[in-house]
Structures are given as structure tokens and as C-alpha cells.
């Protein structure tokens, strides 16, 4: 169970999963948590599609599909693939992951590059395997900068980098 919890924390740090906007869920204290709807514009649509594809790769245990979501050499991609393989070695997949987007800001946008400041919260993840179903703890809201690049070969968006968001300067 501790290993599963640690793995979930790693998933949350890598920012991914299915996107679920404006969804009411249960908070850690049992009260409702309502995610504000993310803006609907091309950059948010790109992130939603990317997150859904990542969630499918984890749910299906598809290492190749997961690797294809990252630019070659991406540290986040290497970590994500390592994490998925660790689940698979234990005979598990991670299903039902949803990312509730609380805030999304486009820091930079070009036809082939997006840099996004995202505040989100992972919820609903379940580790499943033969005779095993363990609900993983929900994540706390966190912020990251995600860089996505569109490839010339197939037009797909791939994650080039995921980093902690810079903290605002003290006043």
C-alpha cells in the first residue's frame, strides 16, 4: 500500500491523467470539492487530449503509447515510463485517473509549442490487478509548468518538460 501511495504521488508530480472540469468530488475532509472549469480554447483542448491519452496508456498498461506522448529524452517521459513499468511488474494498472484543472494560464503559444501554467488535482485513481482493487488517495492541488511541442512528422503534441511552477515573489 505504501508503494502504491508513493507511486500516486509520482503520478501527480508528473501532471497527467484524464482531465475533468467542473466536477464535484469528495475532499479529504469529506466535504465537496468543486473544480472550476478550465478555459475552453485551443491550448486547453491540447492539454485535455494529451491527458486523456496518458490516462489511457496507464489504464491499459501500454508503455509504448505512454512513451509516444513525450519528446525523446524527456526526463518526465522517462520517469512516467519507469512508473508505469513498476505498476506492471506488480501486476497492476492505474485506472480511473482524472485531473481536475483548477487554473490554466498560457505562458507562451506558438503553432508548434505551448508553455502552460497548470494548477490541478489528481483524483479517482484506482490500482487494479488480479483480485486487487485499491483506491489511491486523492492528490492536493499543485501547480506546474508544462511544455508541449507539436511534431512535424505527425502533428501530435508531445510533452517536452514538466517542472514545478515558480513561487510568486514575496511582497
Of residues 28 and 170, the one with the higher pLDDT is 170
Does the pLDDT of residue 33 top 70, yes or no? Answer: no
> Could you tell me which residue, 101 or 27, shows the higher pLDDT?
101
Give the C-alpha separation, 118 to 144, whole Å.
5
Indicate if the pLDDT at residue 171 is higher than 60.
Answer: no
Instruction: Compute how many other C-beta atoms are within 10 angstroms of the C-beta atom of residue 141.
Output: 15
pLDDT above 70 for 12: no
Distance CA 104, CA 39 (A): 7
**106-66-93-115 Cα dihedral, nearest 10 degrees:** -10
Provide CATH code, domain 2-164.
3.10.450.50
41: confidence class by pLDDT, cuts 50, 70, 90? low
pLDDT tens per residue, range 116-151: 999 988 888 999 999 999 998 888 999 999 999 998
Query: 150: which 3 cell numbers?
Result: 507539436
Is the model more confident about 44 or about 95? 95
pTM of the model: 0.74
End-to-end CA distance of the chain: 42
> CA–CA separation, 20 vs 98, rounded Å?
6
Amino acid at each position: 500500500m505504501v508503494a502504491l501511495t508513493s507511486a500516486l504521488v509520482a503520478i501527480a508530480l508528473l501532471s497527467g491523467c484524464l482531465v475533468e472540469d467542473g466536477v464535484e468530488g469528495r475532499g479529504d475532509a469529506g466535504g465537496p470539492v468543486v473544480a472550476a472549469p478550465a478555459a475552453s480554447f485551443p491550448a486547453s483542448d491540447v492539454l485535455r487530449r494529451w491527458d486523456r491519452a496518458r490516462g489511457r496508456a496507464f489504464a491499459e498498461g501500454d508503455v509504448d503509447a505512454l512513451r509516444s506522448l513525450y519528446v525523446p529524452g524527456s526526463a518526465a517521459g522517462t520517469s512516467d515510463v519507469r512508473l508505469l513499468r513498476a505498476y506492471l511488474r506488480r501486476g497492476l494498472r492505474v485506472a480511473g485517473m482524472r485531473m481536475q484543472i483548477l487554473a490554466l494560464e498560457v505562458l507562451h503559444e506558438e503553432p508548434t509549442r505551448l508553455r502552460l501554467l497548470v494548477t490541478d488535482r489528481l483524483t479517482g485513481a484506482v490500482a487494479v490487478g488480479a483480485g486487487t482493487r485499491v483506491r489511491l488517495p486523492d492528490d492536493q492541488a499543485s501547480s506546474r509548468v508544462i511544455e508541449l511541442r507539436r511534431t512535424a512528422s505527425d502533428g501530435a503534441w508531445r510533452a517536452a518538460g514538466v517542472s514545478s511552477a515558480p513561487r510568486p515573489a514575496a511582497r
